[in-house]
Amino acid sequence: MKLYLAVAVLMLAFVAYTEAQDAEQTIEQRFTRFGEQVAEVSKGLAAKAKTTFEEISTSQFAADTRSWFQTQIDNLKTKLS
């Protein structure tokens, strides 16, 4: 019974050791991965910002505001003429 227990413990230690070696990364690999993650986040934020800007610029409020400003400018031009 003790032999089976010893073999099981050795197998678990071997598995843990091999997983630890696979998980070990160099500094260069960590920086590369970090750069990739930053790029992914930046792309996501850029897409969200672009979508939000397009929604705002095509909204009814934006159209009404542009129309109001155009009316005010036209009124000012007629007064100055």
Scored b (16 or more CB within 10 A) or e, 47-79 reads eeeeeeeeeeeeeeeeeeeeeeeeeeeeeeeee
Does the pLDDT value for residue 44 go beyond 70?
A: yes
Q: What is residue 1's predicted lDDT score, i.e. its pLDDT?
A: 53
Least confident of 3-7, 54-58, 63-67: 3-7
